[in-house]
Structure formats: structure tokens, C-alpha cells
């Protein structure tokens, strides 16, 4: 390289030697000529008339091998006198928008301004550029004409031309770039956003036209075919596009022109950035608009259609418009952009979309999926609240996630939403449970493998375990499907009974459950069908087996063991059965059968006996009544009192299999007592050696109170009936006397009699002693208005009154009783061992407490029991160790 340089310089020196005075003079002259001509060309307004002078001067200089000098001089003058000025003029157009931000430009005049200013600025600059290119052409011409003399090669002259022009382009773009104001990209972005919005509006209008066109009278054949495009005909696509394009041609052309101009000034990548971000911005808006807070419709398809209709159309048209110009104008830069590639791809040829367009489509769709997914994930909580109705939204989300694979985002976001909105003290257990069930169902759609469900369900389960009424609510949800079924299938969406029904056929599963402890068995089966397959698992594989146990399994999983659930159900069933006035237990039988399938025959055995008791009761009852009414002597006696055996219906229970039943003493009126005694006797006769023991405080009494001129009917508890019957003989009682007569404690009486006081049938007044009130029968006429409605509301009132006074000892009470044994053990071990951890207490109880029933509580139950003892100040919890409180 070095050698070559010295050679060329030597050659130059040689030239200098061979120069004559003439030639030097000629050079000087033409140099001066060139200077004047260049200045005339480029200074001020510019004067093309000096062109011929310019060319000859350049030619002379070229002849003397001073081509480079001439060229450099030209560019220098061009830069100093033209380009800087042009750039500053160009930027001056945008000075107004210096403080410009995308968010602030909503005012209409600003918007209009931008478009005009941009177009004007580009136009001015283009004119300027045009002029400069003319000058440039002269230079090229001069250089070429010189070269033709020397080299006369075609491609050589072309090389000169391209060299000169590329140098020029480099100059113009670098001058513009160096003086680029910061807000220009924002302006561009805004411009494209605005144009696209306009286009979008136009497209929407077209669509509407298209929808309406069948109703138009002047519908021509052409339009008819467009309508049939909706059927998806591929060949009609083209025509549809044609129409679109012709309508929007002007707009797109305008944009295209702007884009082309911008590119020619070297803003290629900036322009691309600008319209890409504008498109994405619009797409985001569109997704938000379409998706919004409506979960009842699938929006994925409309979004895709929109992508096809607006942004892709736009890009398509832009590509097409730029197509011919790009081919020579583009400096074929290394910038591989979707637009730059294959710009010449055919105009309406939908069948062969260019590679760039396809890439754009993929980009846009991915973006749409991601946006929609983020939107849906953020609102997943609400979506699941609306679950059965929001299925389309869930399906959308599923598709999005399949595309983007961002399941973990869903899990994180949803868990935090749950924590914040659901798992709070204010939410009722029922709501949480329903939400849990909906979550299970919804996530099952999204992810059939249940991997994410597991993650999401965990916090809910943990939280529910801490709630006291969880089991009760679960049982209610499980079994209260009857109401829903009666009201039609529309209401069963969140009932788990439906879930029970669904799996009715799966007998083989229940076969296992009967013999094994179902928890162990279940976890074993789960373990066996485990697959290491989070997101991309095949939904059709391995999921069937899981699904069967899914919801119930997960619900039972909250409690820890099915025994507790069964126990709670038993209490609830007992309550329900005891409150029945007829023997209609079809619904209960059905529920029980379903539960048997899931929890095994053996665990539901007691419940089955309870139901059988009811069935037996019905038979025995009619049997007894048949034999009782036969003896004629009883009839007159009973009719006198207005009571006959016919009115008694007994529920005969095998109390060993029922949960402990609350027993309250009650002296029922003598006639009734006699009747019950007769009934019991008959029972003994029929069912020897069995005897009937009445629980007189339980049951329901239908009675009618007759006042002067009107009668009111009530269905009340026996104690209420007994109270009111006492007023039949005596209109005024003191509370103590009445309590003694009925055989209940005074405070119980005071509580119960409230029922009649609220009905306005009995009034209460203070007696001589402070706690010995006087109750007096109110004359029926006093407030007949409120009594008129009493029959209707009395059922509710009883229910309210009976709240907390259930006939069956609740599971908690049973548990507390059992736990007192354990309390003594715990005290004993803590006395001797000082401090113990929860685990150790649990294990020690398991090992040594062989009471009847043996210790069978879960760790959670023990923990809650211990924390109960702690709050009673019997124990202390320090660093995870329990110690006795001294």
C-alpha cells in the first residue's frame, strides 16, 4: 500500500513538472470561473443559467486532473450555502412544537397543524433537494463528459453518478441528523398515529357500509360480491381489498409520500420506528376498546380481523406505494426492515403476501395476544367471579397463553389479586368457596394439567382452613343443589351437586374408595399419573383421570379428610330431617347416593341409617295410627280436646346413629302428653321390645289461634305451642309461674316467649319483682294489621328465633367434648416435659391417647384447639413450643 502511495505522489509531481505556464493560467482561470459559477449556482436563490460555465470550468479542471478538487469545492459550497440553511429552515417549521408531548396533543388545531406543517416542511425540503440535485446532475454531467473522453466506459459513468449521489445523500442526512431536534420523533409518531386513526375510522365505516349494503336499493353486482366476502370466499378477497384500497388510496398515498420523503432525507429507521409504534399504540387501544370489561364475548377474532383490516392494509398499501420508488431510491442500507424487503411484491396479491408483511402480521398478532393476555390476567379475578358467563374471555386467555407461554404471570398476578380481594376478613366463606370452585373450573379450561391450578389454589385452601365455618359451607355447597335443580338448570352453575352428578357414572373410582382410605389412595393415584408437564402439556392426555377427582378432591383437600366432611354432613342432614313435617326425603336420598359414590358406602353408613329411619318412621307412623284410631272409646275423649291421633306424625330415629340430640325438658300440655304416651305404647306393642322415647322439645306444631271473629295459623316449635296453650286457661302469667308450669328455666322461657310478643299476641309488663315479668294475652283485635301478615312471615321468624338453638349438637360441640380428654393429656405431658412442639404433642397424643374415640384429629385441628387453650390462658406459645401457663 505504502509503495503505491509514493508512486502516485511521484506521478503527481511529474505532472507538476510538465506543467507549462499556459496550463497553470488555464487552471487558475477555470478555478476562478468555477468559484463564481458555484457560488452563483448555490448562493441565494440560485441561478441555473450559469450551468454551462460551471460545466466547462469543471471540465477544464478535470482535464488537469483536478477533478477531486472541483468536486470537493462544489460540495463544500453546497454544504455551507445550501444544506445548513435548508436544515435549519426545515427544523424551524417544528419550533412551535418544542414542548410537545404525545399525551398532551389532544386539541384538534394542534393535530391539524402537525399534518400540515409536516407536509409543508417536507415539500419545501423536497423542492430544495430537487434544486440541489439539479446542480448535482450538472456536476455529474461535467464529470461524466470528462470521463467519457478518457475512460468511455458505461458503467464507469454510472459509478460516478452513484458516487456523487450517495455522497450527497450522506451529507444531507448527516446535516439533518446533527441538527435534529429532540421532539421530532414524537411528532412523527403522532402524525402516523393520527393518519392510522383516520384510516381505521374509514375502514370501520366501510365495514358498516358493507353490513348495511344488503338493505340498499342501489346495490349493484359489485357490492353483492363484496357482501359475500363475509362468507370467506378467497377469490372475493381481492375485490374487497381493491375497493378498500381505492377508497383509502388517497390517504395511503399521502402517507406514502411522506414516508418516501422522509426516507429520502435519511430518516428511514426513524420513520419506521414512528409508524411501528403508532401501529402498536393503535392496536393496544383497539384491544383495550374491544376487550374492555366485557367478558361475555370472545374478542380474539375481532382483534385479528382488525389487524387484517387496518394495520396490515395500511402496511400493504404503503409497501405497494413505495414499491417502485424504493427500488432505486433506497440506498440499500443494511437495515433489514419488513418494509425494505421485497418492496415490489405484487399489489393486491393476497395469496402471496410479502415476507415483510407476514412478519408484520406475526409481530402484530403476538403483540395483540400479549396485550389481551395482560388485560385479561389483570382482570382475571372479575372474570372468574362471572365464571359461567365469562367463558369466552377465558377461552381467549387460553389461546393467548398458548401463544405467549406466560403462565407464570397469570399465577403471580392472580394470587396477589386473591390475597388482596378475596382472602380478607370481609369476604364470606361461601363467597370464597364459590370463587374457589369457579377458579378450579376456569383454570381447568386454561390449563387442563392442573399445574397452575395447584399453585393458585394453595393460598385459597390455606386460608379456608383457618376459617371455622368452612366445612359447614362446603357441605352446604355440596348438598344444596336441590334448590337449584328445582329452579331449573340455570342456577346450578356454582353448585357442587352438579359436580357430583357429573361423575355419577364413574363407578370404578368409587370401588377403590370403599376399601382404602381415600386420601392415601387418592394421593397415590395422583402420584402415579404425575407428569412433568407444566405449560406445554398435551391437554388431551392424562387429564381425564385427574378431572374426575378434581373439584371434589380439591374441596375435600381443604378440610384434610373426608371424615370431617361426612360428619358435618350428618349433622346437617339430621337437622334437616328433624325439621321435616312430611316424610319426603327424595332429594336427600339422591344426594346421599351421590355422596356414597364419592366417599364410599361405609363412611356414609350412618347417614343411610338416618334416612332409613325416616322411611321406617313413615311406615310405622301410619301403622300405629291405623291401630290407634280403631278403638272407638278413644274417639269422643279426644275430640273433646280437639286432638286425635291423626294429627301426630312421629319421626322415629335410632339415636345411636344420629348425632347427639339436644334435649331440653318440656312439659307439653296434658292432652298432647297423653296422646304421645298412647302413641309410644302402640309402638311398643308393634315393635316389641323396642320403646319409644319422645324428644318433646323437637318437632313442629301446627296450630290455629282463634280470636273473636278471626283465626290465625302458625307453625311453631313445641315450646312455643306449649306456652301459648297455657294462656288458653289463664290469660295472665308471671314468668316464674309459667316457666314452672312448662318445665323450662325462666330465661329460656323469656327468650321463647318473645316469639309471641313480637306477634302481638302476648304483652309483657313489669311485675312486682324486678325479674318476674307478667305476660298477658293481648286481645286479638289490637293490632290485626300486623297479624294479617303473620302467617306469611312466621316461618322466617321461627328460623330467626331458632338460630343457634339447633336440635342437633353441632360438630364443633362434639369436637369440644372430645377435646376435653385431650386437654388433660396435653396438660399431663406438658407438666412432665416442660415444653413441646405442636408435632410432638400430636405424635404423643397419637401414641398414648387410646381413649374412646381414639385420637384422630388432624394437625390443624390440634393447632386450633391449642390456640384455643392459649387464649384461655392455659397454655403459652413461645418460639413454636407450647408450655404451661403458671
Judged by the rule CB under 8 A, the positions of this chain that interact with other proteins are 821, 824-825, 827-829, 831-835, 840, 843-844, 847-851, 883
Cell for 558? 381443604
Alpha-carbon separation of residue 723 from 14, 648, 739 (angstroms):
140, 19, 9
The distance in angstroms from the start CA to the end CA of the chain is 100
Q: Between 482 and 835, name the residue whose CB sits nearer to other proteins.
A: 835
Tell me how far, at minimum, the Cβ of 861 lies from other proteins, in Å: 19
In the complex, minimum distance from the CB of residue 839 to other proteins, in angstroms, rounded to a whole number: 11
The DSSP call for residue 747 is H
Q: Which long-range contacts (CB under 8 A, 24 or more apart) does 266-269 make?
A: 266/169, 266/170, 266/172, 266/173, 266/174, 266/176, 266/177, 267/173, 267/176, 267/188, 268/330, 268/333, 268/335, 268/337, 268/340, 269/335, 269/337
> Which CB, 794 or 830, lies closer to other proteins?
830
Provide the 3-class DSSP secondary structure of residue 883: strand
DSSP letters spanning 806-838: -SB--HHHHHHHHHHHHHHHHHHHHHHHSEEEH
Least distance from C-beta 834 to other proteins, angstroms?
Answer: 5
Nearer to other proteins, 221 or 847 (CB): 847
Q: Is the dihedral of CA 442, 448, 450, 452 positive or negative?
A: negative
Which residue intervals of 43-105 are DSSP H helices? 51-63, 67-77, 84-92
Of 547 and 840, CB closest to other proteins = 840
Question: Most distant CA pair in the chain: distance in Å?
Answer: 165
Give the phi and the psi of residue 775 in degrees, each rounded to 5.
-110, 130
**Which of 792, 847 has the CB closer to other proteins?**
847
Q: How far is the CB of 788 from other proteins (least distance, A)?
A: 59
* CA–CA dist 628, 634 (Å, integer): 8
Least distance between other proteins and beta carbon 863 (Å): 20
Within a 13 Å sphere around the CA of 692, how many CA atoms are in the beta-carbon half?
22
Residue of 622, 618, 615 whose CA lies nearest to 682: 622
Report in angstroms how near the CB of residue 864 gets to other proteins at its nearest: 21
Report the C-alpha gap between 269 and 524 in whole angstroms.
Answer: 60
Under DSSP, is residue 593 helix (H, G, I), strand (E, B) or coil? helix
**Smallest separation, CB 841 to other proteins (Å):** 11
C-beta of 202 vs 883, nearer to other proteins = 883
CB of 884 to other proteins, least distance (A): 9
Question: How far, in Å, CA of 685 to CA of 507, rounded?
Answer: 43
What grid cell was written down for 855?
Answer: 385420637
Minimum distance of other proteins from residue 810's CB (angstroms): 25
C-alpha–C-alpha distance, residues 828 and 831, integer Å: 5
Smallest distance from other proteins to CB 831, Å: 4
Count of other CB atoms within 10 angstroms of residue 105: 18
Helices 634-641 and 605-629, interaxial angle, to 10°?
Answer: 110
Give the number of other CB atoms < 10 A from CB of residue 407.
20
Write down the least CB distance from residue 824 to other proteins, Å. Answer: 5
- Pairing relationship of beta strands 762-765 and 875-878 according to DSSP bridges: unpaired
Q: Residue 118 or 829: which CB sits closer to other proteins?
A: 829
Would you say 218 or 832 has its CB closer to other proteins? Answer: 832
**C-alpha dihedral over 106, 107, 108, 110, to 10 degrees?**
-100
Nearest approach, Cβ of residue 687 and other proteins (Å): 38
Residue count of the chain: 886
Smallest gap from Cβ 560 to other proteins, in A, equals 25
CA-nearest of 312, 460, 465, 287 to 379 is 287
CB nearer to other proteins: pick between 48 and 851: 851
Q: Which three cell numbers stand for residue 278?
A: 403508532
Minimum CB distance to other proteins smaller for 465 or for 846: 846
- Give the residue with the Cβ less far from other proteins, 220 or 839: 839
**Looking up cell 399431663, which residue turns up?**
828
Q: Nearer to other proteins by C-beta: 425 or 847?
A: 847
Which residues neighbour 185 within 8 Å (Cβ) at sequence distance 6 or greater?
Answer: 270, 273, 274
Minimum distance from residue 869 beta carbon to other proteins (Å): 15
Compute the distance between CA of residue 748 and CA of residue 499 in angstroms, rounded to an integer.
Answer: 43
Q: Distance (Å, rounded) from C-alpha 71 to C-alpha 164? A: 9
Whichever of 170 and 850 has its CB closer to other proteins, that residue is 850
Query: Can you tell me the distance from the alpha carbon of 400 to that of 232, in angstroms, rounded to the nearest whole number?
Result: 24
874, 831 contact by CB (below 8 A): no
User: What is the smallest separation between the CB atom of 848 and other proteins, expressed in angstroms?
Assistant: 6
* CB nearer other proteins, residue 746 or residue 877: 877
For other proteins, the closer of residues 246 and 831 by Cβ is 831
Report in angstroms how near the CB of residue 857 gets to other proteins at its nearest: 17
Q: Which is nearer to other proteins, 352 or 831 (CB)?
A: 831
Amino acid at each position: 500500500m505504502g509503495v503505491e502511495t509514493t508512486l502516485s505522489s511521484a506521478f503527481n509531481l511529474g505532472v507538476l513538472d510538465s506543467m507549462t505556464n499556459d496550463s497553470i493560467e488555464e487552471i487558475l482561470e477555470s478555478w476562478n470561473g468555477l468559484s463564481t459559477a458555484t457560488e452563483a449556482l448555490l448562493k441565494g436563490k440560485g441561478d441555473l443559467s450559469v450551468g454551462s460555465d460551471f460545466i466547462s470550468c469543471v471540465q477544464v479542471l478535470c482535464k488537469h486532473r483536478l477533478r477531486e478538487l472541483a468536486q470537493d469545492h462544489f460540495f463544500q459550497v453546497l454544504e455551507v450555502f445550501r444544506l445548513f440553511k435548508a436544515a435549519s429552515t426545515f427544523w424551524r417549521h417544528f419550533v412551535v412544537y418544542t414542548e410537545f408531548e404525545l399525551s398532551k396533543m389532544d386539541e384538534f388545531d394542534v393535530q391539524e397543524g402537525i399534518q400540515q406543517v409536516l407536509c409543508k416542511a417536507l415539500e419545501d425540503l423536497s423542492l430544495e433537494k430537487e434544486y440541489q440535485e439539479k446542480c448535482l446532475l450538472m456536476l455529474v454531467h461535467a464529470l461524466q463528459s470528462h470521463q467519457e473522453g478518457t475512460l468511455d466506459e458505461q458503467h464507469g459513468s454510472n459509478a460516478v453518478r452513484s458516487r456523487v449521489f450517495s455522497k450527497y445523500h450522506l451529507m444531507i442526512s448527516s446535516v439533518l441528523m446533527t441538527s435534529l431536534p429532540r421532539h421530532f420523533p414524537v411528532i412523527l409518531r403522532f402524525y402516523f398515529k393520527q393518519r392510522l386513526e383516520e384510516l381505521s375510522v374509514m375502514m370501520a365505516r366501510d365495514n358498516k357500509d358493507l353490513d348495511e349494503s344488503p338493505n340498499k336499493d342501489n346495490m349493484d353486482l359489485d357490492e353483492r360480491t363484496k357482501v359475500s366476502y363475509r362468507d370467506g370466499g378467497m377469490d372475493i378477497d381481492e375485490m374487497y381489498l381493491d375497493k378498500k384500497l381505492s377508497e383509502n388510496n388517497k390517504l395511503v398515498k399521502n402517507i406514502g409520500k411522506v414516508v418516501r420523503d422522509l426516507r429520502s432525507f435519511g430518516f428511514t429507521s426513524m420513520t419506521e420506528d414512528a409508524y411501528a409504534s403508532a401501529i402498536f399504540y393503535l392496536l393496544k387501544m383497539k384491544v383495550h376498546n374491544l376487550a374492555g370489561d366485557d367478558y361475555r364475548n370472545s374478542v380474539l377474532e375481532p382483534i385479528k380481523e382488525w389487524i387484517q383490516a387496518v394495520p396490515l392494509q395500511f402496511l400493504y398499501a404503503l409497501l405497494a406505494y413505495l414499491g417502485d420508488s424504493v427500488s432505486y431510491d433506497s440506498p440499500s442500507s443494511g437495515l433489514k426492515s419488513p418494509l425494505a424487503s421485497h418492496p415490489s411484491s405484487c399489489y393486491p396479491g393476497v395469496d402471496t403476501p410479502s415476507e415483510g408483511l407476514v412478519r408484520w402480521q406475526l409481530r402484530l398478532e403476538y403483540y395483540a395476544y400479549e396485550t389481551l393476555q395482560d388485560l385479561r390476567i389483570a382482570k382475571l379475578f372479575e372474570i372468574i367471579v362471572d365464571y359461567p358467563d365469562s367463558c369466552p374471555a377465558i377461552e381467549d386467555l387460553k389461546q393467548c397463553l398458548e401463544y405467549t407461554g406466560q403462565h407464570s404471570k397469570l399465577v403471580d398476578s392472580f394470587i396477589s389479586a386473591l390475597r388482596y380481594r378475596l382472602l380478607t376478613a370481609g369476604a364470606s366463606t361461601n363467597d370464597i368457596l364459590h370463587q374457589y370452585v369457579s377458579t378450579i373450573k376456569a383454570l381447568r379450561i386454561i390449563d387442563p394439567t392442573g399445574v397452575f391450578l395447584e399453585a393458585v389454589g394453595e393460598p385459597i385452601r390455606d386460608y379456608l382452613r383457618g376459617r371455622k365455618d368452612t366445612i359447614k359451607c362446603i357441605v352446604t355447597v355440596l348438598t344444596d343443589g336441590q334448590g337449584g335443580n328445582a329452579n331449573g338448570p340455570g342456577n346450578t352453575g356454582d353448585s357442587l351437586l352438579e359436580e357430583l352428578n357429573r361423575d355419577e357414572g364413574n363407578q370404578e373410582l368409587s370401588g377403590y374408595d370403599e376399601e382404602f382410605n381415600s386420601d392415601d389412595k387418592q394421593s397415590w393415584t395422583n402420584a402415579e399419573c404425575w407428569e412433568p408437564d407444566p405449560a406445554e402439556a398435551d391437554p388431551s392426555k392424562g387429564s381425564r383421570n385427574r378431572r374426575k377427582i378434581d373439584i371434589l378432591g380439591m374441596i375435600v383437600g381443604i378440610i384434610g379428610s373426608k371424615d370431617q366432611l361426612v360428619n358435618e354432613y350428618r349433622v346437617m342432614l339430621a337437622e334437616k330431617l328433624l325439621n321435616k313435617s312430611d316424610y319426603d326425603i327424595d332429594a336427600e336420598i339422591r344426594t346421599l347416593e351421590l355422596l356414597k359414590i364419592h366417599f364410599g358406602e361405609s363412611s356414609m353408613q350412618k347417614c343411610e341409617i338416618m334416612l332409613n329411619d325416616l322411611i321406617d318412621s313413615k311406615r310405622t307412623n301410619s301403622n300405629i295410627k291405623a291401630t290407634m284410631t280403631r278403638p272407638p272409646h278413644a274417639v269422643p275423649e279426644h275430640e273433646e280436646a280437639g286432638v286425635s291421633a291423626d294429627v301426630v306424625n312421629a319421626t322415629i330415629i335410632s339415636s345411636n346413629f344420629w348425632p347427639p340430640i339436644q334435649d331440653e325438658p318440656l312439659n307439653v300440655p296434658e292432652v298432647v302428653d297423653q296422646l304421645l304416651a298412647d302413641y309410644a305404647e302402640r309402638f311398643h306393642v308393634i315393635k316389641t321390645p323396642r320403646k319409644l322415647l319422645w324428644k318433646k322439645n323437637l318437632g313442629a306444631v301446627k296450630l290455629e289461634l282463634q280470636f273473636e271473629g278471626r283465626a290465625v295459623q302458625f307453625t311453631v316449635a313445641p315450646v312455643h305451642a306449649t306456652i301459648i296453650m297455657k294462656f288458653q286457661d289463664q290469660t295472665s302469667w308471671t314468668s316464674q309461674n309459667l316457666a314452672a308450669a312448662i318445665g323450662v328455666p325462666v330465661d329460656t322461657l323469656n327468650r321463647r316467649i318473645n316469639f309471641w310478643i313480637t306477634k302481638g299476641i302476648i304483652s309483657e309488663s313489669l311485675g312486682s319483682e324486678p325479674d318476674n315479668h307478667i305476660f298477658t294475652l293481648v286481645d286479638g283485635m289490637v293490632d290485626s294489621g300486623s297479624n294479617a301478615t303473620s302467617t306469611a312471615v312466621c316461618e322466617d321468624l321461627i328460623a330467626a328465633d331458632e338460630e343457634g338453638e339447633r336440635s342437633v349438637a353441632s360438630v364443633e360441640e362434639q369436637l369440644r367434648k372430645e377435646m376435653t380428654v385431650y386437654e388433660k393429656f396435653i396438660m399431663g405431658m406438658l407438666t412432665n416435659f416442660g415444653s413441646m412442639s405442636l408435632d410432638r404433642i400430636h405424635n404423643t397424643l397419637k401414641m398414648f391417647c387410646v381413649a374412646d374415640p381414639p385420637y384422630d384429629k388432624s394437625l390443624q385441628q390440634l393447632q386450633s384447639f391449642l390456640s384455643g387453650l392459649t387464649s384461655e390462658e392455659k397454655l403459652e406459645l413461645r418460639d413454636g413450643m407450647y408450655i404451661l401457663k403458671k
